[in-house]
Amino acid sequence: MSPFLFTRTTCRGCFGTSLIQFLDMGDMPLAGGFLRKNEFRNEIFIPLRVFICESCGLVQILDVIDPHILFNSYCYISSVIPLMKKHFKSYATFLKESYLSKPRSSLLEFGCNDGALLEEFLAEPHIRILGIDPSENVSQMAKAKKIPVITDYFTTKTARTIVQQYGKMDVVTGSNVFAHVDDVHEIIKAAKIVLSPEGVFIIEVHYLGSLMKEFQYDTIYHEHLTYYSVSALKILFGLQQMRIVDVQMLTMHGGGIRVIACREDAHHKQKRSVSTILQEEQLRGLSRPDTFTTFGDACKKHRAHLISFLQSINNKNSSIVGYGAPGRGTMLLNYCQITNAYLDYVVDISPLRYGKYVPGVHLPIYHPRKVKKNPPNYILILAWNYAESILEQEKELRAQGVQFIIPFPTIGLL
């Protein structure tokens, strides 16, 4: 069976047909497709091309992989990342104070992963919580925490079942999942079915503006089908008779946004943050194809620079190890063809990753304790969006003289 569901010919936001390609990263492996050695020969490689819609400015990947291949057994766990734990604790506080303060409040999280957000509400008896996630392995982790979770995709069909069994919800939210869905209109329709009349739909997504500003081409991969600006989201929500009432900037994953929307006839007032960021995006040209053509050219130059930087270290017979095995690490290693000619191995704290190999380049992944037993000369921070946390965790290595390489937004030593 083909790994594709299909290749889109229309924009997933506005359904326009004028789509301009600005970056071709070649045939790439699945970012989260970590392998055992005996699985190398069956590995999947898929074209990774990025387009912008001339009509609405939505940046997107058109080659859509069957979501069952990507998500039925998932290798990302929110709770093992300290900064994500901190983020969800803060987000829970925001929700409790802003939208879940009344008695018998209710919250639904789609793409709830292992329950990192929802577990923050377990001690709040007045707030009814429910999660939904398609991944069998991580949803079981959430259930083990006594969080009610439906193992399924969030669709209009499941939304109607949720209303029948659990009632309407005051908040429907999804963190780092809205960009993973091809039919985003189905998600919004499902949210509208579940939401109470004055309920809010809140998404947290990686921000296109941050991707451009910080030069984060490593976050482009098949799992992330769409790269959102507020301008494109405004058009998308408008097509479903919803409006954006607030936008908040986030630091997670190298820069994200929290977008709060409601029905067009709801009484929530639009905050100044919305008009402010829309004006900024217009000034930055985040809907113009030429902005992204320039970005695509710059990606090729960065790749050449990084390879040259690593080669200069290898010429000194110095050892380099990769730190972190996130999806963005898979993309960086494969796009730049950073193989065992440059890196000895990679370390990662997730038990779903160490003991396996990085997709495509097949570098072995170990627990971080390995790098402490036999320190290399250099460490390339693949999970660079958590660089501050990693440097704090590994301050002993720095004290021993190990130098850390940061690949973005500019290549350098820390």
pLDDT digits (tens, 9 = 90+) for 42-59: 898 989 999 999 999 999
- Are 230 and 59 in contact by the 8 Å Cβ rule? The answer is no
Entry pTM = 0.88
Closest residue by Cα to residue 261 from 285, 281, 280, 239: 239
pLDDT values of the chain reduced to their tens digit, one per residue, 414 residues: 455 678 999 999 999 999 999 999 999 998 888 999 999 998 989 899 999 999 999 999 999 988 777 665 555 555 656 778 899 999 999 999 999 999 999 999 999 988 899 999 999 989 999 999 988 888 888 899 999 999 999 999 999 999 999 999 999 999 989 999 999 999 999 999 999 999 999 999 999 999 998 889 999 999 899 999 999 999 999 999 999 999 999 987 678 999 999 999 999 999 999 999 999 999 999 999 999 999 999 999 999 999 999 999 999 989 999 999 998 999 999 999 999 999 999 999 888 888 999 999 999 999 999 999 999 999 999 999 889 889 999 999 999 999 999 999 899 998
229 Rama class: left (phi>0) / alpha (psi -120 to 50) / beta? beta
> Which tokens sit at 127?
């707030």
- Are 250 and 258 in contact by the 8 Å Cβ rule? The answer is yes
Strand order in the sheet with 127-133: 149-151, 127-133, 105-110, 169-175, 195-206, 256-263, 242-250
As a dihedral over the C-alpha atoms of residue 145, residue 160, residue 232, residue 75, rounded to 10 degrees, the angle is: 30
pLDDT at 4: 64
